[in-house]
Structure 1
Amino acid sequence: MRLFLVSCFIFLLALSCSEEVSNYPVGTNFIDSDINIKIIDSFSIKAGTFRLDSLITSSSSRILIGSEYDDNFGQIKAQSYFQLNNSSFSISDDAVYDSIGLVLHYDNYYHGDTTKLQTYRVHRVTEYFEPDDDAYAFYNLSKLSYDAEPLGEVSFIPRPNTTTDSVYIPLDYNLGLEIFEQIRDDEINTSDEFFQYLYGLTVIPDTTANAHVLGFKFTSDVTIDDNSGMRIFYTEDTDDTSSDNDKQFNFYISSAADQFNAIDADLESTLINYFEDSETIISSEDTDDKIYTQAGAGICARIEIPTLRDLNAISDNSNVLKAELTFYPEIIDNDTKSELPDSFNVYVVDHKNRIVTQLTDIDGNTAYAVLSGNDDEFNQNTYYTVDMSGFVQTVLGSETDLNYALMIQFADYDKIVDNVVIKTVDDDGHPNINLAVTYLNY
Structure 2
Amino acid sequence: MRNLTDFLLFIVLAIWVAACQQSTLIGEDLIDEDNTQVQEIDTLRVETSSLLLDSIYTANASRMLAGAFADPYLGKVSAQCFFNLDSVDIFSIEDDANLLFDSLSLSLRHDYEYPATDHLQNLAVYTLEEKLDDEVFYFNHSVGPETLQKVGVTTFNTHSTRNNRFNIRLADDLGRALFEVAKKSDELDIDHVIQGMSIRQEGELAGQSVLGFPTDSIYLQVHYHDRKTDEKGSVSLKLKPALRYNRLLSDRGQTALRNLTQRGTAVSSSQTNAESYIQAGVGICTKLDFPTLRSIRQNRKISVNLAYLDIQPIKSSYQGSDLAPLENLYVYSPTHKNTLKQTYWSGSEINPVSVQRTVDALTGNSTYRIYLTDYISDILNQDADEYTGILLYTSASSTGINELGRVVLGSGQHPREAAKLHIIFTVIK
- Shorter-normalised TM-score: what interval? 0.7 to 0.9
**What is the Cα deviation at residue 233 of structure 1?**
0.6
Q: Which residue of 2 aligns with 1:37?
A: 38
Q: Please show how residues 179-258 of structure 1 align to structure 2 within 5 Å.
A: 179-186=178-185, 188-189=187-188, 193-195=189-191, 197-210=193-206, 211-219=208-216, 227-236=217-226, 245-255=231-241, 257-258=242-243
Q: TM-score by structure 2 length?
A: 0.83
Over 3 Å counting, the alpha-carbon distance change for 1:70 and 1:338 in structure 2 is closer
Q: Are the counterparts in 2 of residues 329 and 421 from structure 1 also a CA contact under 8 Å?
A: yes
Q: Deviations over 1:159-216 (max 9, x none)?
A: 27741x2342111111111111123124632xxx334542210011125232111111
Which residue pairs with 2:12 in the alignment? Answer: none
CA distance in 1, matches of 2:224, 2:42: 71
Distance 1:352 1:362, change over 3 A: closer
Q: What is the CA distance between 1:324 and its match in structure 2?
A: 0.2
Q: 1:441 to 1:276 in 2, by over 3 A?
A: same
Give the superposition deviation at 1:90.
Answer: 2.3
- Show the counterpart of 2:16: none
Report the equivalent of 1:8. Answer: 28
SS of the equivalent of 1:258 reads strand
TM-score (norm 1): 0.80
Counting only pairs closer than 5 Å after superposition, residues 273-422 of structure 1 correspond to structure 2 as: 273-316=258-301, 318-332=302-316, 334-335=319-320, 339-350=324-335, 352-360=337-345, 367-372=353-358, 374-379=359-364, 381-411=365-395, 412-422=399-409
Helix, strand or coil for the counterpart of 1:252? strand
Deviations 1:233-278 (A, max 9, x none): 112478xx7xx821111111111x2121111001111010122422
CA distance in 2, matches of 1:367, 1:52: 19
Amino acid aligned to 1:47: T
CA deviation vs aligned residue, 1:33-83 (integer Å, no higher than 9, x gap): 422322232222221111112211122210111110011010000111111
Q: Is the 8 A contact 2:177 2:193 kept in 1?
A: no
* Contact 1:306/1:403 (<8 A) preserved: no
Q: Which residue in 1 is equivalent to 2:146?
A: 146
Q: Describe the shift of the 1:196–1:174 C-alpha distance in structure 2 as closer, same or farther (beyond 3 A).
A: closer
Identify the residue that residue 423 of structure 1 maps to in structure 2.
Answer: 410
Query: Gaps (5+ residues) in structure 1?
Result: 13-31, 220-226
Shift in Å, 1:228? 1.9
Give me the whole-angstrom Cα distance separating, in 2, the residues matched to 1:160 and 1:291.
Answer: 36
3-state SS in 2 of match to 1:79: strand
Secondary structure of 1:254 counterpart: strand
Number of residue-to-residue matches in the alignment: 397
Q: Identify if the C-alpha distance between structure 1 residues 102 and 403 changes in structure 2 by more than 3 Å, giving closer, same or farther.
A: same
| Distance in 1, Cα, partners of 2:108 & 2:29 | 60
2:167 corresponds in structure 1 to 168
In structure 2, give the amino acid aligned to 1:326.
Answer: D
Which structure is larger by alpha-carbon Rg, 1 or 2?
2
Partner SS state of residue 370, structure 1: strand
| Structure 2 unaligned blocks of 5 or more | 1-23
CA RMSD, aligned part only? 3.2
Amino acid of the structure 1 residue aligned with 2:220 = M
Corresponding position of 2:78: 77
The 1:188–1:402 alpha-carbon spacing in structure 2 relative to 1, beyond 3 Å, is farther
